[in-house]
Each structure stands twice: as structure tokens, then as C-alpha cells.
Amino acid sequence: MKFFIVALMSMIHLDTNSPNVYIFYEPTFDTFEECRNYAQANGPMLMTHLFNEFGPKDRPQMVSCVNEEVIKKILNPEYKEESKTNADASGYNGIHGHS
């Protein structure tokens, strides 16, 4: 299972009443520990990227490492694990990504 770095931003998206979410699609990691270690070692670079993407008013509230199943749920809140459907970010205004 792959792990991704995800940032929850502080501002609430009015259309969805949820925070903006930024998914770093690259790099991916094989374990949570690898992801966490990378995020800790590269925190300033990740924060600079988020600042450039969102500006000074929408600061990261939380940065975490999550697995692919969580990404699918973020992209499609109606996703059911047993259905194994592919999540589609188009139209979900609160999601940003970087690859």
C-alpha cells in the first residue's frame, strides 16, 4: 500500500464546508514511517510549497501521511472500500494536488 503526504489547510471551503486539502502525489512511500520521516526532514520545503499554493491566509492546520484508501475517501466521500472504484478529483473544489 502506498502512503502520501496530505495537508489540511486552515480555511474552510464554502462550497463543501470543509478545509482545503492538498495531496502531494509525489513522492509516494511504502510505509507510514518512510512518509513521516520524509515529511519531518523536508518540512520547510513542504511548507514553502503550501504557502506558494495557498498564500499567507490559508496556512496548514495539519500535515499527515495517509494511505491510498484515505486518499480515495478524501477525493470521493461516498467511496466504499469494498467497491474499489477509482476516485475522481474533478469537481471537488477543496482538493489540490502536486505531482
Domain parsing of the chain, residue ranges: 3-81
Q: What tens-digit pLDDT sequence spans the chain (99 residues)?
A: 999 999 999 887 777 777 789 999 999 999 999 999 999 999 999 999 999 999 988 989 899 999 999 999 888 867 655 443 333 333 333 444 544
Q: Answer yes or no: are the C-beta atoms of 74 and 24 closer than 8 Å.
A: no
Looking at residue 2, its pLDDT comes to 96
Looking at residue 80, its pLDDT comes to 59
The strand ranges marked E within 30-89 are: 60-67
Looking at residue 81, its pLDDT comes to 53
55, HSE (Cβ side, Cα atoms, 13 Å)? 2
Looking at residue 5, its pLDDT comes to 97
Looking at residue 85, its pLDDT comes to 35
Question: How far is it, in rounded angstroms, from Cα 11 to Cα 43?
Answer: 20
